[in-house]
Every structure is written in C-alpha cells, then in structure tokens.
C-alpha cells in the first residue's frame, strides 16, 4: 500500500512567531486582501458605494504605508537585487503613464517580501481569506447579505451568493482551495477532499461557473496524490513541462483569440469558455496592442439588473489575465510579468518545490479564463514574484539539502 512520504522540515532558524517585519507585512497584505475581497461583493451597494470606496482607499493606502514600514525592519539589499528591482520599476513607471499605477503599486509588495517567510504569511492569509469568503457566502444564504440573481438565458439561472457576479464567487472559492491545498501540502487528508468537493458542488449549483468548479474539484485530489510521489520534480518530464506553464498558456490563448473563427474547434472552445474568445477578439481588434499599454474603460455584466438596468456601453470585457494585461499594460510590462512568473516556476522546478510548482501551473491554467493573475488582493501567490529577485540567484542548499540562508524559506 502506498504511503505518503514523510517530509521533514529543514528550515534553519525558523520560528513559530512572526518577526517584526513579517508581522507588519502580514497586516499590510490582510488590509489589501480584505479591501479587494469585500469590494467585489454586494456589501458596497448595501452599505453605500461612496462610503465603502473611501474605506477601501484608506485600507489600501494604509497597506502601502505598512509595506514601506516593513522595509525599515528588513536587512539591506544586495547590488544585484537593487539593479533588478530598479529596472523593473523603471518600466512599470513608464507604463503607469499610459495604463495606470496598478502594476507599479504591486511592485511595492515585491520589495516588501525580502526576508519574509512566505509559507507562514500564506498560511495566515489562507485562514483569513477563507473566513471572509465563508462569511459572505453564508451571509447571503441566511439573508444578512443580498444574493443577486443573474439570468443570462432561460436555461442557465445563476446567483452571486453575496458577490456582485457569479464568476467572482467561483474565483474566490478557487483561490481559497488553492491556498488551502498549498498550505497543507503533504498534510492534506481524504476528509479535506470530501469537504472541499461538497462545498464546490454546492457553490456550483448556484453560480453555474463551470471552469472554476472543474478546477476546484481537481486541485485537492491532485495535491493529495502529490504526497505519494517520490521523484524530485527535476527528475520528471512533467516537472520540466510545468515550469513553462505561464508562457505556454499566454501564447496559446493569444493565438486562439486572434485566429478565432466561429467554426469547428474554435467554436467548441469558445462555447466552453462562455464566449470569451469572441469577446476578447473583438476587444483586441478595437483597442490594439501597444508598447506601454493604454487605459480602457471596461464594460462587463457585473451588477446588471441590480445596480444598473443596462450596460454603460458595448460589452468589451476581457476575462483572460494574459490578454487583459497585454491590452492594458502593453508588450514590455506584459513580457516582464511573464518572465517573472516563469522564473518562479523554474525555481520551484529546480529546488524540488513540487507543491509550489503545481500551484503555479494550476494558477497559470486558470488565468487563461480569469483576470486575477496580478491582483495581489485576490491572488496572494503574487508574493512569489519576489523569488526571481531575492532567492533564485542565490545558492539555496548545501549537499545535504539544508537551507543555507534564512531568506530562502519559501
């Protein structure tokens, strides 16, 4: 009978309690995450959009400030680290003049992740993220929070379960499950799988979000069986393939979109993706791709029939993270982002971090159809973009496999 491999922790200097810089950084992440998660729920409309917008801005700016405070509590930067960060920041600043400051502000968290034990941070974020999601969904079923209905056609009724659109509910559940499985790693049990599948089916029965439901069903099973694998990731073909997940997914969805024709296999894929190929092709033709991006006023279905009776303009929303980033942020920033995620995956492959490698591959696949790749409030895995700057270029282990530097604890 197969048994899970008994993996011993070899992190030197790891403490149960958070260090000062980690505690400050954690509070910053939780503020950003809470503001983002609540903002896509119906609570702002119930409480008052203007008041909530002010609160969310206060939480977000406080988050940025706390990350900067964590800089002061962190040890010095090496010249190579500063050069890499400086180069990325220059392009992000240039891009911000054309497409806004979203990516530039995200870099602040990458700066703040130096010498942060990401395993501990992600574990706590997982608990808080799950609690917020649970409160919103349960609140919608007991009548405390509104449960908006969306009837796109007569045979597909959908509900938001406390969120402003059903796919938001599905996206948050997906991230909750991915965080849980990544946090548990080899500790995931069969009972966890059963509980997750029950919740997933229940949420799907209301949201009817197929892509999210399928992945949520697969993730816990996959992570469970990962505990039985004996080979290192760098000794397997699938491990080698997984390290290229982000560029493969990005290039695939790009060519599927620009070559889309409402016929044959393209029509089948478009139907599976709920017309995402068709809508994305229209938006790409309308706005084009620029070197440093552009500001686009996105028009989507969120809130239709509740906060608005008709769309503010022609529907132009692009759900795919890869295409949305390409349209909004331009070729250069898009390329830097793709390189960053690929380098994290390569690091996970080379260092035999199989749970991180698989989590990133699943995230890459999910972002083909969803928009959360670079939204740190919705996707805490963005923190791992600090890896290429602070970890990847350092010798991580000695011949016994023990970590040599405290900063390599991820």
pLDDT along the chain (410 residues), means of 10: 44 54 92 94 94 94 90 75 80 80 84 85 94 96 93 72 93 96 94 96 92 92 92 90 96 93 86 86 91 86 74 83 94 94 94 95 95 92 88 50 39
CA distance readout (Å), 222 to 42, 84, 190: 33, 35, 12
Query: What per-residue confidence (pLDDT) applies to 410?
Result: 53
Best CA proximity match to 300, nearest among 285, 311, 308, 309: 311
What are the tokens at 374? Answer: 């670079």
Residue 346 inside a domain? The answer is yes
Distance CA 32, CA 141 (A): 26
What are the tokens at 391? Answer: 């970890």
Query: What per-residue confidence (pLDDT) applies to 313?
Result: 76
Q: Are 164 and 148 in contact (CB under 8 A)?
A: yes
Residue 350 inside a domain? The answer is yes
Residue 116 inside a domain? The answer is no
Query: What per-residue confidence (pLDDT) applies to 110?
Result: 86
What are the DSSP E strand ranges found in 292-390?
A: none
Residue 378 inside a domain? The answer is yes
Q: Which domain covers residue 347, as residue numbers?
A: 230-402
Residue 238 inside a domain? The answer is yes
Query: What per-residue confidence (pLDDT) applies to 75?
Result: 67
Residue 4 inside a domain? The answer is no
Query: What per-residue confidence (pLDDT) applies to 405?
Result: 39
- Full-prediction pTM beyond 0.95? no
Query: What per-residue confidence (pLDDT) applies to 393?
Result: 58
Distance CA 290, CA 310 (A): 30
Query: What per-residue confidence (pLDDT) applies to 12?
Result: 28
Best CA proximity match to 91, nearest among 76, 109, 74, 106: 106
- Provide CB contacts within 8 A for 234, sequence distance 6+: 240, 349, 350, 352
Give me the residues paired with residue 157 across strands. Answer: 151
Q: With residue 158 as reference, give the H or E element that holds it.
A: strand 157-159
Distance CA 410, CA 123 (A): 12
Question: Which conformational region is residue 282 in: left (phi greater than 0), alpha (psi within -120 to 50 degrees), or beta?
Answer: alpha
How many separate domains does the chain show?
1
Residue 257 inside a domain? The answer is yes
Query: What per-residue confidence (pLDDT) applies to 195?
Result: 96
DSSP 380: G
Distance CA 369, CA 340 (A): 20
What are the tokens at 228? Answer: 């039985």
Residue 348 inside a domain? The answer is yes
């Amino acid at each position: 009978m197969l048994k899970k491999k008994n993996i011993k922790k070899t992190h030197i200097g790891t403490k149960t309690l958070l260090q000062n810089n980690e505690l400050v950084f954690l509070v910053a992440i939780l503020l950003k995450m809470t503001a983002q998660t609540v903002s896509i729920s119906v609570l702002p409309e119930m409480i008052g959009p203007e008041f909530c917008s002010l609160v969310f801005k206060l939480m977000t700016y406080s988050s940025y400030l706390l990350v900067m405070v964590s800089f002061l509590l962190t040890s010095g930067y090496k010249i190579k680290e500063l050069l890499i960060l400086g180069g990325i920041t220059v392009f992000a600043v240039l891009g911000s003049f054309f497409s806004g400051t979203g990516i530039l502000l995200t870099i602040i968290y990458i700066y703040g992740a130096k010498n942060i034990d990401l395993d501990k941070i992600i574990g706590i974020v997982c608990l808080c993220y799950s609690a917020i999601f649970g409160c919103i969904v349960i609140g919608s079923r007991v009548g405390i929070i509104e449960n908006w209905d969306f009837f796109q056609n007569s045979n597909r009724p959908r509900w938001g379960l406390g969120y402003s659109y059903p796919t938001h509910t599905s996206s948050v559940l997906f991230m909750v499950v991915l965080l849980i499985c990544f946090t548990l790693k080899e500790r995931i049990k069969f009972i966890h799988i059963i509980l997750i599948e029950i919740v997933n089916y229940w949420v799907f029965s209301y949201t009817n979000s197929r892509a999210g439901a399928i992945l949520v069903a697969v993730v816990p099973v996959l992570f469970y069986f990962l505990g039985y694998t004996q080979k290192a990731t760098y000794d397997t073909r699938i491990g080698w393939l997984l390290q290229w997940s982000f560029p493969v997914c990005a290039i695939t969805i790009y060519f599927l979109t620009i070559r889309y024709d409402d016929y044959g296999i393209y029509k089948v894929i478009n139907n599976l993706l709920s017309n995402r190929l068709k809508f994305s092709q229209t938006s790409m033709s309308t706005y084009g791709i620029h070197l440093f991006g552009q500001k686009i006023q996105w028009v989507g279905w969120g809130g239709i029939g509740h906060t608005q009776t008709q769309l503010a303009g022609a529907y132009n929303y692009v759900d795919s993270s890869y295409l949305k980033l390409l349209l909004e942020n331009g070729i250069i920033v898009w390329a830097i982002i793709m390189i960053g995620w690929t380098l994290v995956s390569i690091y996970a492959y080379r260092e035999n971090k199989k749970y991180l490698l698989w989590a990133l591959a699943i995230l890459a696949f999910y972002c083909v159809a969803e928009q959360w790749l670079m939204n740190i409030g919705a996707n805490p895995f963005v923190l791992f973009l600090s890896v290429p700057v602070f970890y990847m270029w350092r010798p991580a282990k000695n011949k016994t496999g023990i970590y040599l530097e405290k900063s390599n604890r991820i």
